[in-house]
Amino acid sequence: MHRAALPSCSHLPVAAGIGLRAPHHDQVAAQQPAVPWLEVHTENFLGGGATLALLESLRDRHAISLHGVGLSLGSAEGLDEDHLARVAALVRRIEPAAISDHVSWSVTGGVYFNDLLPLPYDEESLAVIARNVMRFQEAVGRPVMVENPSTYLRHVQSDRAEPQFLAELCGRCGCGLLLDVNNVFVSAENHGYDAHAYLAAIAGLPIGEIHLSGHHLRRIGDRAIRIDDHGSPVSDPVWALYERTLALIGPRPTLIEWDSALPPLQTLLAEAAKARTRIEAAARSAA
Amino acid sequence: MILARLQAAYRDYLLSGNSAAVAPAIVADAFDASERLGIHRNNFLISLRAALKANFPVTLRLVGNGFFEQAAYRFALAHPPQRPCLFEYGAAFPDYLQALPELAAVPYVADVARFEFARVAACHAPAEEYVSADSLAGLEPERLDAVPVRLARHARVVAVTAPVLELWKAHRKPEADLTAIDMAPRSHALLVCRPEHSLLAREIDTAAALFLAAAGAGSSLGLAAAQCHAQGDAALGRVIRLALELRLLANPGTP
Protein backbone atom coordinates (compact mmCIF):
# COMPACT_ATOMS: atom_id res chain seq x y z
CA MET A 1 0.00 0.00 0.00
CA HIS A 2 1.23 3.49 -0.85
CA ARG A 3 -0.29 6.07 1.45
CA ALA A 4 2.22 8.87 1.18
CA ALA A 5 1.16 12.42 2.07
CA LEU A 6 0.39 14.74 -0.81
CA PRO A 7 3.59 15.35 -2.78
CA SER A 8 5.16 18.82 -3.02
CA CYS A 9 3.77 19.34 -6.54
CA SER A 10 0.23 19.72 -5.15
CA HIS A 11 -1.20 22.07 -2.56
CA LEU A 12 -4.78 21.26 -3.49
CA PRO A 13 -7.29 20.37 -0.79
CA VAL A 14 -7.77 16.60 -0.57
CA ALA A 15 -11.33 17.00 -1.80
CA ALA A 16 -13.35 16.96 -5.01
CA GLY A 17 -13.09 19.92 -7.40
CA ILE A 18 -14.61 20.77 -10.76
CA GLY A 19 -13.25 22.03 -14.06
CA LEU A 20 -14.47 25.60 -14.62
CA ARG A 21 -15.44 26.39 -18.22
CA ALA A 22 -16.58 29.68 -19.78
CA PRO A 23 -20.36 28.92 -19.86
CA HIS A 24 -20.28 28.52 -16.06
CA HIS A 25 -18.12 31.58 -15.25
CA ASP A 26 -20.95 33.94 -14.36
CA GLN A 27 -22.90 31.33 -12.40
CA VAL A 28 -19.91 30.29 -10.30
CA ALA A 29 -19.06 33.94 -9.60
CA ALA A 30 -22.64 34.75 -8.59
CA GLN A 31 -23.65 31.59 -6.70
CA GLN A 32 -20.32 30.80 -5.06
CA PRO A 33 -20.88 27.01 -4.93
CA ALA A 34 -19.24 25.25 -2.00
CA VAL A 35 -16.58 23.52 -4.06
CA PRO A 36 -13.14 23.70 -2.43
CA TRP A 37 -11.14 23.92 -5.61
CA LEU A 38 -11.47 24.75 -9.29
CA GLU A 39 -9.33 23.83 -12.23
CA VAL A 40 -9.08 25.96 -15.37
CA HIS A 41 -7.28 25.57 -18.66
CA THR A 42 -4.29 27.88 -18.36
CA GLU A 43 -4.45 28.96 -22.01
CA ASN A 44 -7.92 30.48 -21.58
CA PHE A 45 -6.59 32.95 -19.00
CA LEU A 46 -3.47 34.24 -20.72
CA GLY A 47 -5.20 37.40 -21.94
CA GLY A 48 -6.69 40.06 -19.70
CA GLY A 49 -10.10 41.60 -19.21
CA ALA A 50 -13.11 40.11 -17.49
CA THR A 51 -11.88 36.52 -17.83
CA LEU A 52 -8.70 37.15 -15.87
CA ALA A 53 -10.52 39.38 -13.37
CA LEU A 54 -12.96 36.52 -12.73
CA LEU A 55 -10.16 34.07 -11.97
CA GLU A 56 -8.53 36.59 -9.63
CA SER A 57 -11.82 37.02 -7.75
CA LEU A 58 -12.38 33.24 -7.49
CA ARG A 59 -9.02 32.61 -5.87
CA ASP A 60 -10.27 34.22 -2.66
CA ARG A 61 -12.85 31.45 -2.23
CA HIS A 62 -11.39 28.43 -4.01
CA ALA A 63 -7.98 26.86 -4.44
CA ILE A 64 -7.07 27.10 -8.13
CA SER A 65 -5.35 24.54 -10.32
CA LEU A 66 -3.83 25.82 -13.58
CA HIS A 67 -4.01 22.94 -16.04
CA GLY A 68 -2.23 23.59 -19.33
CA VAL A 69 -3.19 22.12 -22.67
CA GLY A 70 -0.74 24.02 -24.84
CA LEU A 71 2.83 23.84 -23.58
CA SER A 72 3.50 20.79 -25.74
CA LEU A 73 5.92 19.23 -23.28
CA GLY A 74 6.77 16.48 -25.78
CA SER A 75 7.91 18.76 -28.61
CA ALA A 76 11.34 17.84 -29.94
CA GLU A 77 11.91 21.50 -30.85
CA GLY A 78 11.58 22.57 -27.19
CA LEU A 79 9.08 24.88 -25.54
CA ASP A 80 7.75 28.13 -26.96
CA GLU A 81 9.49 30.58 -24.63
CA ASP A 82 6.99 33.38 -25.26
CA HIS A 83 4.11 31.10 -24.32
CA LEU A 84 6.00 29.82 -21.29
CA ALA A 85 6.61 33.40 -20.15
CA ARG A 86 2.87 34.10 -20.33
CA VAL A 87 2.14 30.95 -18.30
CA ALA A 88 4.77 31.92 -15.71
CA ALA A 89 3.28 35.44 -15.44
CA LEU A 90 -0.17 33.94 -14.79
CA VAL A 91 1.30 31.63 -12.14
CA ARG A 92 2.85 34.65 -10.37
CA ARG A 93 -0.46 36.46 -10.51
CA ILE A 94 -2.78 33.63 -9.40
CA GLU A 95 -0.42 31.67 -7.12
CA PRO A 96 -2.26 28.42 -7.92
CA ALA A 97 -2.36 25.39 -5.64
CA ALA A 98 -1.23 23.19 -8.53
CA ILE A 99 0.23 23.52 -12.04
CA SER A 100 0.07 20.82 -14.67
CA ASP A 101 0.22 19.89 -18.36
CA HIS A 102 0.31 16.67 -20.37
CA VAL A 103 2.60 13.85 -21.43
CA SER A 104 1.98 14.59 -25.10
CA TRP A 105 2.85 17.11 -27.77
CA SER A 106 0.85 19.55 -29.91
CA VAL A 107 3.34 21.93 -31.54
CA THR A 108 5.77 21.33 -34.36
CA GLY A 109 7.12 23.49 -37.17
CA GLY A 110 5.17 26.55 -36.11
CA VAL A 111 1.75 24.85 -35.97
CA TYR A 112 -0.32 24.29 -32.83
CA PHE A 113 -2.59 21.28 -33.42
CA ASN A 114 -4.86 21.69 -30.38
CA ASP A 115 -4.79 17.96 -29.72
CA LEU A 116 -2.80 15.90 -27.24
CA LEU A 117 -0.68 13.95 -29.70
CA PRO A 118 1.04 10.78 -28.46
CA LEU A 119 4.76 10.29 -27.88
CA PRO A 120 6.69 7.11 -28.57
CA TYR A 121 7.85 5.70 -25.27
CA ASP A 122 11.59 5.49 -25.80
CA GLU A 123 14.80 7.07 -24.54
CA GLU A 124 14.78 10.02 -26.94
CA SER A 125 11.20 11.03 -26.06
CA LEU A 126 12.04 10.71 -22.38
CA ALA A 127 15.07 12.98 -22.78
CA VAL A 128 13.01 15.53 -24.75
CA ILE A 129 10.07 15.70 -22.35
CA ALA A 130 12.32 15.64 -19.27
CA ARG A 131 14.26 18.63 -20.64
CA ASN A 132 11.01 20.49 -21.32
CA VAL A 133 9.48 19.68 -17.93
CA MET A 134 12.67 20.92 -16.23
CA ARG A 135 12.43 24.17 -18.22
CA PHE A 136 8.73 24.48 -17.27
CA GLN A 137 9.54 23.98 -13.58
CA GLU A 138 12.41 26.47 -13.79
CA ALA A 139 10.07 29.09 -15.33
CA VAL A 140 7.33 28.69 -12.72
CA GLY A 141 9.76 28.12 -9.87
CA ARG A 142 8.18 24.97 -8.45
CA PRO A 143 7.43 21.32 -9.21
CA VAL A 144 4.60 20.68 -11.67
CA MET A 145 2.48 17.64 -12.49
CA VAL A 146 2.26 15.80 -15.80
CA GLU A 147 -0.87 13.94 -16.87
CA ASN A 148 -0.98 10.47 -18.39
CA PRO A 149 -2.73 10.60 -21.78
CA SER A 150 -5.58 8.71 -23.38
CA THR A 151 -3.98 6.90 -26.29
CA TYR A 152 -5.47 5.58 -29.49
CA LEU A 153 -2.30 4.29 -31.10
CA ARG A 154 1.11 2.87 -30.24
CA HIS A 155 4.43 3.58 -31.93
CA VAL A 156 6.55 0.82 -33.40
CA GLN A 157 9.65 2.32 -31.79
CA SER A 158 8.27 2.35 -28.22
CA ASP A 159 10.48 0.14 -26.06
CA ARG A 160 8.86 0.58 -22.64
CA ALA A 161 5.37 0.63 -21.16
CA GLU A 162 3.69 3.91 -20.23
CA PRO A 163 3.99 3.39 -16.42
CA GLN A 164 7.74 2.93 -16.76
CA PHE A 165 8.01 6.03 -18.97
CA LEU A 166 6.05 8.07 -16.40
CA ALA A 167 8.14 6.73 -13.51
CA GLU A 168 11.38 7.64 -15.30
CA LEU A 169 10.02 11.12 -16.11
CA CYS A 170 8.96 11.79 -12.51
CA GLY A 171 12.28 10.42 -11.28
CA ARG A 172 14.40 12.58 -13.60
CA CYS A 173 12.48 15.83 -13.11
CA GLY A 174 11.14 15.62 -9.58
CA CYS A 175 7.72 16.38 -11.04
CA GLY A 176 4.47 14.81 -9.91
CA LEU A 177 1.88 12.73 -11.74
CA LEU A 178 -1.64 13.96 -12.41
CA LEU A 179 -3.33 10.58 -12.71
CA ASP A 180 -6.29 10.59 -15.07
CA VAL A 181 -8.16 7.41 -14.18
CA ASN A 182 -10.46 7.69 -17.19
CA ASN A 183 -7.37 7.88 -19.42
CA VAL A 184 -5.96 4.73 -17.78
CA PHE A 185 -9.23 2.92 -18.51
CA VAL A 186 -9.53 4.21 -22.09
CA SER A 187 -5.92 3.36 -22.98
CA ALA A 188 -6.05 -0.06 -21.30
CA GLU A 189 -9.23 -0.97 -23.18
CA ASN A 190 -7.91 0.39 -26.48
CA HIS A 191 -4.65 -1.53 -26.28
CA GLY A 192 -5.78 -4.60 -24.35
CA TYR A 193 -3.70 -4.23 -21.23
CA ASP A 194 -4.64 -4.63 -17.57
CA ALA A 195 -5.64 -1.34 -15.94
CA HIS A 196 -5.08 -2.78 -12.45
CA ALA A 197 -1.51 -3.75 -13.34
CA TYR A 198 -1.01 -0.20 -14.68
CA LEU A 199 -2.23 1.28 -11.37
CA ALA A 200 0.00 -1.02 -9.36
CA ALA A 201 2.97 0.11 -11.46
CA ILE A 202 2.40 3.85 -10.90
CA ALA A 203 1.06 3.71 -7.32
CA GLY A 204 4.43 4.65 -5.83
CA LEU A 205 4.81 7.83 -7.90
CA PRO A 206 4.14 11.28 -6.44
CA ILE A 207 0.48 11.54 -7.45
CA GLY A 208 -0.82 15.00 -6.50
CA GLU A 209 -4.17 14.98 -8.27
CA ILE A 210 -6.64 12.66 -9.97
CA HIS A 211 -8.85 13.42 -12.98
CA LEU A 212 -12.20 11.76 -13.65
CA SER A 213 -14.27 12.30 -16.80
CA GLY A 214 -16.44 10.59 -19.37
CA HIS A 215 -15.58 8.94 -22.67
CA HIS A 216 -17.50 7.33 -25.49
CA LEU A 217 -17.26 4.24 -27.62
CA ARG A 218 -16.75 4.98 -31.33
CA ARG A 219 -17.57 2.25 -33.81
CA ILE A 220 -15.31 1.89 -36.84
CA GLY A 221 -16.75 -0.83 -39.06
CA ASP A 222 -17.35 -3.86 -36.83
CA ARG A 223 -14.80 -2.73 -34.25
CA ALA A 224 -14.93 -0.12 -31.50
CA ILE A 225 -12.46 2.20 -29.81
CA ARG A 226 -12.87 4.32 -26.69
CA ILE A 227 -12.48 8.08 -27.16
CA ASP A 228 -11.78 10.41 -24.26
CA ASP A 229 -14.14 13.33 -24.89
CA HIS A 230 -14.93 14.75 -21.42
CA GLY A 231 -18.51 14.86 -22.62
CA SER A 232 -20.52 12.53 -20.36
CA PRO A 233 -20.74 11.30 -16.74
CA VAL A 234 -17.93 9.18 -15.33
CA SER A 235 -18.66 5.58 -16.35
CA ASP A 236 -19.20 2.78 -13.82
CA PRO A 237 -15.96 0.92 -14.67
CA VAL A 238 -14.03 4.19 -14.20
CA TRP A 239 -15.64 4.76 -10.79
CA ALA A 240 -14.59 1.23 -9.87
CA LEU A 241 -11.06 1.89 -11.06
CA TYR A 242 -11.03 5.15 -9.10
CA GLU A 243 -12.01 3.30 -5.91
CA ARG A 244 -9.23 0.84 -6.60
CA THR A 245 -6.80 3.77 -7.04
CA LEU A 246 -7.78 5.38 -3.74
CA ALA A 247 -7.40 2.01 -1.99
CA LEU A 248 -3.86 1.78 -3.40
CA ILE A 249 -2.60 5.33 -2.87
CA GLY A 250 -4.97 6.88 -0.33
CA PRO A 251 -7.23 9.90 -0.77
CA ARG A 252 -6.21 12.49 -3.35
CA PRO A 253 -7.60 15.79 -4.70
CA THR A 254 -9.95 14.68 -7.47
CA LEU A 255 -11.33 16.70 -10.37
CA ILE A 256 -14.52 16.19 -12.34
CA GLU A 257 -13.52 17.26 -15.85
CA TRP A 258 -16.15 18.09 -18.46
CA ASP A 259 -15.49 19.95 -21.72
CA SER A 260 -17.78 18.93 -24.58
CA ALA A 261 -21.60 18.93 -24.28
CA LEU A 262 -21.15 20.84 -21.02
CA PRO A 263 -24.09 20.10 -18.66
CA PRO A 264 -25.60 22.47 -16.05
CA LEU A 265 -23.27 23.35 -13.19
CA GLN A 266 -25.45 21.26 -10.84
CA THR A 267 -24.56 18.09 -12.79
CA LEU A 268 -20.85 18.78 -12.31
CA LEU A 269 -21.36 19.42 -8.62
CA ALA A 270 -23.37 16.18 -8.29
CA GLU A 271 -20.52 14.24 -9.94
CA ALA A 272 -18.07 15.95 -7.58
CA ALA A 273 -20.24 14.85 -4.63
CA LYS A 274 -19.86 11.23 -5.77
CA ALA A 275 -16.09 11.64 -5.82
CA ARG A 276 -16.17 13.33 -2.40
CA THR A 277 -18.00 10.33 -0.88
CA ARG A 278 -15.24 8.04 -2.13
CA ILE A 279 -12.44 10.36 -0.97
CA GLU A 280 -13.97 10.48 2.50
CA ALA A 281 -14.34 6.69 2.59
CA ALA A 282 -10.70 6.31 1.56
CA ALA A 283 -9.63 8.78 4.24
CA ARG A 284 -11.56 6.83 6.90
CA SER A 285 -10.01 3.52 5.90
CA ALA A 286 -6.54 5.11 5.79
CA ALA A 287 -6.95 6.52 9.31
CA MET B 1 12.55 7.50 -36.46
CA ILE B 2 14.00 10.40 -34.51
CA LEU B 3 11.35 12.42 -32.69
CA ALA B 4 11.71 15.63 -34.71
CA ARG B 5 11.23 13.70 -37.95
CA LEU B 6 8.29 11.74 -36.52
CA GLN B 7 6.58 14.94 -35.41
CA ALA B 8 7.17 16.52 -38.83
CA ALA B 9 5.55 13.42 -40.39
CA TYR B 10 2.53 13.84 -38.09
CA ARG B 11 2.35 17.50 -39.11
CA ASP B 12 2.31 16.62 -42.82
CA TYR B 13 -0.41 14.04 -42.19
CA LEU B 14 -2.59 16.28 -40.04
CA LEU B 15 -2.48 19.08 -42.62
CA SER B 16 -2.80 16.94 -45.77
CA GLY B 17 -4.56 13.73 -44.74
CA ASN B 18 -1.79 11.75 -46.45
CA SER B 19 -0.45 9.29 -43.87
CA ALA B 20 2.28 7.69 -46.04
CA ALA B 21 5.19 9.16 -44.06
CA VAL B 22 3.85 8.58 -40.55
CA ALA B 23 1.92 5.30 -40.94
CA PRO B 24 5.02 3.02 -40.81
CA ALA B 25 5.72 4.40 -37.29
CA ILE B 26 2.31 3.26 -35.99
CA VAL B 27 1.51 -0.27 -34.80
CA ALA B 28 -1.23 -1.77 -37.01
CA ASP B 29 -3.46 -4.36 -35.36
CA ALA B 30 -7.26 -4.52 -35.18
CA PHE B 31 -7.19 -1.02 -36.66
CA ASP B 32 -4.82 0.06 -39.38
CA ALA B 33 -2.56 3.08 -38.86
CA SER B 34 -4.75 5.46 -40.84
CA GLU B 35 -7.83 4.58 -38.76
CA ARG B 36 -5.94 5.27 -35.55
CA LEU B 37 -4.33 8.45 -36.88
CA GLY B 38 -7.72 9.60 -38.11
CA ILE B 39 -8.88 10.00 -34.51
CA HIS B 40 -6.22 12.66 -33.97
CA ARG B 41 -6.95 14.45 -37.25
CA ASN B 42 -10.59 14.50 -36.29
CA ASN B 43 -9.76 15.96 -32.85
CA PHE B 44 -7.57 18.62 -34.45
CA LEU B 45 -10.15 19.76 -36.99
CA ILE B 46 -13.26 19.49 -34.80
CA SER B 47 -11.65 21.41 -31.94
CA LEU B 48 -10.55 24.26 -34.23
CA ARG B 49 -13.98 24.38 -35.81
CA ALA B 50 -15.43 24.77 -32.30
CA ALA B 51 -12.90 27.52 -31.52
CA LEU B 52 -13.93 29.45 -34.65
CA LYS B 53 -17.62 29.02 -33.79
CA ALA B 54 -16.92 30.49 -30.36
CA ASN B 55 -15.04 33.48 -31.81
CA PHE B 56 -17.48 34.18 -34.69
CA PRO B 57 -21.00 33.46 -33.36
CA VAL B 58 -22.94 35.90 -35.56
CA THR B 59 -20.93 35.01 -38.66
CA LEU B 60 -21.99 31.42 -37.94
CA ARG B 61 -25.65 32.44 -37.88
CA LEU B 62 -25.32 34.49 -41.06
CA VAL B 63 -23.92 31.65 -43.17
CA GLY B 64 -25.57 28.71 -41.40
CA ASN B 65 -23.98 25.82 -39.54
CA GLY B 66 -23.32 23.59 -42.55
CA PHE B 67 -21.49 26.22 -44.59
CA PHE B 68 -19.60 27.54 -41.54
CA GLU B 69 -18.33 24.08 -40.66
CA GLN B 70 -17.07 23.46 -44.18
CA ALA B 71 -15.39 26.86 -44.35
CA ALA B 72 -13.88 26.45 -40.87
CA TYR B 73 -12.53 23.01 -41.77
CA ARG B 74 -10.81 24.34 -44.90
CA PHE B 75 -9.58 27.42 -43.05
CA ALA B 76 -8.10 25.31 -40.22
CA LEU B 77 -6.09 23.30 -42.77
CA ALA B 78 -4.93 26.40 -44.66
CA HIS B 79 -4.33 28.57 -41.59
CA PRO B 80 -3.80 26.35 -38.53
CA PRO B 81 -3.08 28.19 -35.28
CA GLN B 82 0.50 29.06 -34.49
CA ARG B 83 -0.07 29.55 -30.76
CA PRO B 84 -2.10 27.69 -28.12
CA CYS B 85 -4.40 30.54 -27.03
CA LEU B 86 -7.44 29.89 -29.17
CA PHE B 87 -9.15 33.14 -28.22
CA GLU B 88 -6.48 34.62 -30.50
CA TYR B 89 -7.29 32.24 -33.36
CA GLY B 90 -8.98 33.38 -36.55
CA ALA B 91 -7.41 36.76 -37.38
CA ALA B 92 -7.23 35.68 -41.03
CA PHE B 93 -10.72 34.15 -41.10
CA PRO B 94 -12.57 37.32 -42.24
CA ASP B 95 -10.28 37.77 -45.27
CA TYR B 96 -10.58 34.04 -45.97
CA LEU B 97 -14.38 34.32 -45.98
CA GLN B 98 -14.24 37.41 -48.19
CA ALA B 99 -12.28 35.46 -50.82
CA LEU B 100 -14.77 32.57 -50.96
CA PRO B 101 -16.73 32.69 -54.25
CA GLU B 102 -19.79 31.25 -52.46
CA LEU B 103 -19.97 34.41 -50.33
CA ALA B 104 -19.47 36.92 -53.17
CA ALA B 105 -23.17 37.82 -53.08
CA VAL B 106 -23.11 38.49 -49.31
CA PRO B 107 -20.07 40.73 -48.78
CA TYR B 108 -21.36 41.84 -45.38
CA VAL B 109 -20.41 38.44 -43.89
CA ALA B 110 -16.68 39.24 -43.94
CA ASP B 111 -17.32 42.66 -42.36
CA VAL B 112 -19.30 41.08 -39.53
CA ALA B 113 -16.47 38.57 -39.04
CA ARG B 114 -13.94 41.45 -38.85
CA PHE B 115 -16.05 43.08 -36.19
CA GLU B 116 -16.41 39.85 -34.22
CA PHE B 117 -12.68 39.21 -34.20
CA ALA B 118 -12.08 42.77 -32.98
CA ARG B 119 -14.54 42.10 -30.14
CA VAL B 120 -12.74 38.93 -29.08
CA ALA B 121 -9.35 40.68 -29.23
CA ALA B 122 -10.67 43.61 -27.18
CA CYS B 123 -12.23 41.28 -24.59
CA HIS B 124 -8.97 39.46 -23.93
CA ALA B 125 -6.49 42.33 -24.23
CA PRO B 126 -4.16 42.68 -21.25
CA ALA B 127 -4.24 45.79 -19.07
CA GLU B 128 -1.53 48.39 -19.71
CA GLU B 129 -0.54 51.93 -18.81
CA TYR B 130 -2.78 54.46 -20.53
CA VAL B 131 -2.10 58.06 -21.47
CA SER B 132 -4.19 60.11 -19.04
CA ALA B 133 -5.56 63.63 -19.15
CA ASP B 134 -3.26 64.51 -16.26
CA SER B 135 -0.17 63.50 -18.19
CA LEU B 136 -1.13 65.87 -21.00
CA ALA B 137 -2.19 68.77 -18.77
CA GLY B 138 -0.12 71.88 -19.36
CA LEU B 139 1.56 70.43 -22.44
CA GLU B 140 2.33 73.13 -25.04
CA PRO B 141 0.83 72.29 -28.46
CA GLU B 142 4.28 72.41 -30.08
CA ARG B 143 5.49 69.68 -27.71
CA LEU B 144 2.89 67.15 -28.91
CA ASP B 145 5.41 65.72 -31.38
CA ALA B 146 7.55 64.64 -28.44
CA VAL B 147 4.79 62.54 -26.87
CA PRO B 148 4.96 59.00 -28.28
CA VAL B 149 1.69 57.08 -28.27
CA ARG B 150 0.29 53.84 -29.51
CA LEU B 151 -3.22 52.47 -29.74
CA ALA B 152 -4.20 50.59 -26.56
CA ARG B 153 -4.43 46.83 -27.02
CA HIS B 154 -8.09 46.78 -26.03
CA ALA B 155 -8.94 49.17 -28.89
CA ARG B 156 -9.52 48.19 -32.51
CA VAL B 157 -10.61 50.28 -35.47
CA VAL B 158 -12.42 48.22 -38.09
CA ALA B 159 -13.07 49.60 -41.57
CA VAL B 160 -16.32 48.20 -42.98
CA THR B 161 -18.87 48.89 -45.69
CA ALA B 162 -21.78 46.81 -44.35
CA PRO B 163 -24.20 47.92 -41.58
CA VAL B 164 -22.30 45.73 -39.13
CA LEU B 165 -23.55 47.18 -35.84
CA GLU B 166 -27.18 46.81 -36.93
CA LEU B 167 -26.62 43.26 -38.21
CA TRP B 168 -24.81 42.25 -35.07
CA LYS B 169 -27.46 43.73 -32.81
CA ALA B 170 -30.26 42.03 -34.75
CA HIS B 171 -28.55 38.65 -34.37
CA ARG B 172 -28.35 38.91 -30.61
CA LYS B 173 -32.02 37.95 -30.63
CA PRO B 174 -33.05 34.34 -31.34
CA GLU B 175 -35.01 35.44 -34.46
CA ALA B 176 -33.06 38.10 -36.33
CA ASP B 177 -35.28 40.68 -38.06
CA LEU B 178 -33.28 42.24 -40.89
CA THR B 179 -36.14 43.94 -42.72
CA ALA B 180 -35.47 47.38 -41.24
CA ILE B 181 -31.72 47.31 -41.95
CA ASP B 182 -30.48 49.37 -44.89
CA MET B 183 -27.98 47.04 -46.57
CA ALA B 184 -26.63 49.67 -49.02
CA PRO B 185 -22.80 49.69 -48.82
CA ARG B 186 -21.34 52.68 -46.97
CA SER B 187 -17.66 52.96 -46.01
CA HIS B 188 -17.28 53.76 -42.34
CA ALA B 189 -15.10 53.00 -39.34
CA LEU B 190 -16.09 51.19 -36.14
CA LEU B 191 -14.30 51.55 -32.85
CA VAL B 192 -14.33 48.41 -30.68
CA CYS B 193 -12.81 48.86 -27.24
CA ARG B 194 -12.92 47.72 -23.63
CA PRO B 195 -11.77 50.64 -21.48
CA GLU B 196 -12.61 48.68 -18.31
CA HIS B 197 -14.66 45.48 -18.12
CA SER B 198 -17.43 46.37 -20.56
CA LEU B 199 -17.03 46.17 -24.29
CA LEU B 200 -18.07 49.19 -26.36
CA ALA B 201 -18.63 49.37 -30.10
CA ARG B 202 -19.55 52.53 -31.98
CA GLU B 203 -19.13 54.22 -35.30
CA ILE B 204 -16.45 56.93 -35.35
CA ASP B 205 -15.95 59.81 -37.77
CA THR B 206 -13.11 60.21 -40.23
CA ALA B 207 -11.07 62.46 -37.93
CA ALA B 208 -11.14 59.90 -35.11
CA ALA B 209 -10.38 57.03 -37.49
CA LEU B 210 -7.37 58.87 -38.94
CA PHE B 211 -6.10 59.83 -35.50
CA LEU B 212 -6.42 56.29 -34.13
CA ALA B 213 -4.90 54.78 -37.28
CA ALA B 214 -1.85 57.03 -36.80
CA ALA B 215 -1.66 55.98 -33.14
CA GLY B 216 -2.01 52.36 -34.20
CA ALA B 217 0.96 52.78 -36.53
CA GLY B 218 3.09 53.80 -33.53
CA SER B 219 3.14 57.54 -33.94
CA SER B 220 3.57 60.61 -31.77
CA LEU B 221 0.63 62.54 -30.44
CA GLY B 222 1.61 65.41 -32.73
CA LEU B 223 1.61 63.29 -35.87
CA ALA B 224 -1.67 61.67 -34.92
CA ALA B 225 -3.14 65.11 -34.24
CA ALA B 226 -1.97 66.38 -37.62
CA GLN B 227 -4.15 63.72 -39.24
CA CYS B 228 -7.15 65.33 -37.60
CA HIS B 229 -6.49 68.94 -38.60
CA ALA B 230 -7.56 68.37 -42.18
CA GLN B 231 -10.99 67.46 -40.80
CA GLY B 232 -11.55 70.86 -39.24
CA ASP B 233 -10.40 72.76 -36.17
CA ALA B 234 -13.01 71.35 -33.80
CA ALA B 235 -12.10 67.76 -34.61
CA LEU B 236 -8.88 67.47 -32.63
CA GLY B 237 -10.32 68.43 -29.26
CA ARG B 238 -13.23 66.09 -29.74
CA VAL B 239 -11.00 63.18 -30.75
CA ILE B 240 -8.52 63.67 -27.91
CA ARG B 241 -11.41 63.80 -25.45
CA LEU B 242 -12.74 60.50 -26.86
CA ALA B 243 -9.28 58.91 -26.70
CA LEU B 244 -8.76 59.92 -23.07
CA GLU B 245 -12.27 58.98 -21.94
CA LEU B 246 -12.03 55.51 -23.46
CA ARG B 247 -8.34 54.98 -22.62
CA LEU B 248 -7.51 54.46 -26.27
CA LEU B 249 -3.89 55.60 -26.04
CA ALA B 250 -1.14 53.68 -24.31
CA ASN B 251 2.35 54.69 -23.44
CA PRO B 252 4.68 52.87 -25.89
CA GLY B 253 7.28 52.52 -23.17
CA THR B 254 5.12 50.00 -21.29
CA PRO B 255 4.99 46.33 -22.22
Cβ-defined contact of B40 to A115 (cutoff 8 Å): yes
| Residue range A88-97, pLDDT digits in tens | 999 999 999 9
Using CA atoms, how far residue A12 sits from A69, A131, B188, in Å, is 19, 26, 52
User: Which residue in chain A is spatially nearest to B78 when comparing CA positions?
Assistant: A111
Please identify among residues 192-251 of chain A the ones whose CB lies closer than 8 Å to any CB of chain B. 218, 220, 223, 225, 227
Residue B82 with chain A: CB contacts under 8 Å: 110-112
Task: Name the residue in chain A with its Cα closest to that of B43.
Answer: A115
pLDDT at B50: 96
The pLDDT of residue B254 is 64
Q: What pLDDT digit, counting tens, does each position of B97-124 carry?
A: 999 999 999 999 999 999 999 999 999 9
Q: Are B202 and B164 in contact (CB under 8 A)?
A: no
| The pLDDT of residue B235 is above 60 | yes
CB A155 within 8 A of CB B25: yes
**Interchain CB contact of A92 with B (< 8 Å):** no
The arithmetic mean of pLDDT across residues A235-256, rounded, is: 97
* Nearest-CB residue to B81 (from A50, A112, A124): A112
pLDDT above 70: residue A103: yes
Q: Positive or negative, the Cα torsion across A160, A164, A166, A172? A: negative
Surface-to-core class of residue A77, CB atoms within 10 Å of its CB (0-12 exposed, 13-18 middle, 19+ buried): middle
Q: Are A43 and A13 in contact (CB under 8 A)?
A: no
CA separation for the pair A73, A93 (Å, rounded): 22
pLDDT of A276 over the 60 cut: yes
Q: Is pLDDT above 60 for A1? A: no
pLDDT value, residue B47: 96
B158-174 pLDDT per residue, tens: 999 999 999 999 998 88
d(CA A115, CA A136): 20
- pLDDT higher than 70, residue A3: no
Put simply, the answer to whether A153 touches B26 (Cβ < 8 Å) is: yes
Average pLDDT over residues B132-143: 80
- B157, B162, B200: which is closest to B178 by C-alpha? B162
Query: Nearest by CB to A110, which of B6, B33, B82?
Result: B82
Give how far Cα B160 sits from Cα of B84, B115, B216, Å. 29, 9, 17
Rounded average pLDDT over A201-222: 96
Please state the rounded mean pLDDT for residues A225-248: 96
| Three-state secondary structure readout of chain A | CCCCCCCCCECCCCCEEEECCHHHHHHHHHHCCCCCEEEEEHHHHCCCHHHHHHHHHHCCCCEEEEECCCCCCCCCCCCCHHHHHHHHHHHHHHCCCEEEEECCEEEECCEEEEEEECCCCCHHHHHHHHHHHHHHHHHHCCCCEEECCCCCCCECCCCCCHHHHHHHHHHHHCCEEEEEHHHHHHHHHHHCCCHHHHHHHHCCCCEEEEEECCEEEEEECCEEEEEECCCCCCCHHHHHHHHHHHHHHCCCCEEECCCCCCCCHHHHHHHHHHHHHHHHHHHHHHC
Write the residue in B2, B7, B154 that is nearest to A105 by C-beta.
B7
How many whole angstroms separate alpha carbon A215 and alpha carbon A199? 19
pLDDT at A4 over 60: no
- The CA distance from B127 to B66, in Å, is 38
Q: What is the mean pLDDT of residues A139-162?
A: 98
Mutation site, B82, B85, B156, interface A, largest A CB count within 10 A: B85
Residue B35 distance to chain A (closest CA, Å): 8
pLDDT given at position B255: 57
**Res B134: pLDDT:** 85
Q: What is the pLDDT of residues B7-52, one digit of tens each?
A: 999 999 999 999 999 999 999 998 999 999 999 999 999 999 999 9
- Cα distances from B235 to residues A63, B48, B135, B195, B211, in angstroms, run 51, 44, 21, 22, 10
Q: Is residue A254 predicted with pLDDT exceeding 80?
A: yes
Q: Which residues of B fall within a CB distance of 8 Å from A83? A: 83-84
The CA distance from B51 to A266, in Å, is: 25
For the segment A264-271, the average pLDDT, to the nearest whole number, is 97
The pLDDT of residue A239 is above 80: yes
Q: Which of A259, A249, A238 is nearest to A279 (CA)?
A: A249
User: For residue B234, is pLDDT > 90?
Assistant: no
Q: pLDDT grade, residue A233 (50/70/90)? A: very high
